[in-house]
Structure 1
Amino acid sequence: MFGPFRLTSPLSGGLLWKIPWRLSRPQKLRARRRLRHVDNIVSTLDTALAKQGLSTKGLDRWKDEMPTEGEMLARDKYSMFDRKAKGYRKGVHKLPKWTRLSQRLNPPGY
């Protein structure tokens, strides 16, 4: 127990910070809320600019290319394409800064 060969947390259980292989229900709920929040911001900006008769290229491109939260498949909401993973998908929470990046588009068929 005591002395130079005492057991430490990393030695007793492997990694100290473990990431589960799938998202929990609250994590999924928060992810959906973040997606909806971004959709609301985009629609608010679009209506405000339309009232003034203006538009931006970035906003128009976002609306054309990115699906809304309701249009996305569950597979695309909670996982992302990874060519090194076994089924070519991995949980979106394994991506660093996954709450800040948009992972709405994935290659078709994966």
Structure 2
Amino acid sequence: MKGSLLVLAVFVLGIFAGTQPGLPMFLRRPDLALYALYLLLFLVGVGMGANQQAWKMLRRLNLRILLVPLGVIVGTLVGVALFSLLLPALSLRQALAVGAGFGYYSL
């Protein structure tokens, strides 16, 4: 709960900062958030790659364990494809793109 409130507070603070006329122009670039997201994803990858304990655990696991995430991926995409039939304004390609996010926002 504390982490969620912190995320919300930082988001609201960002909205407030964006409305201020004194905000430097380089912070107003629309692509800055995209580059920041790329950096965050890279850092998450570095953190995962550097976790030696996780790699040791993965080596000991049976490959059948991969059926769980693969099932989640396939199930999500099939569900999104079916749901897109109810949303005529959204193409199948657009719906699959949205569904492919799989909640990366929780990073």
TM > 0.5? no
TM-score by structure 2 length? Answer: 0.30
Higher relative contact order structure (alpha carbons within 8 Å, sequence separation ≥ 6): 1
Bigger share in helix: 2
TM-score by structure 1 length? Answer: 0.29
Bigger share in strand: 1
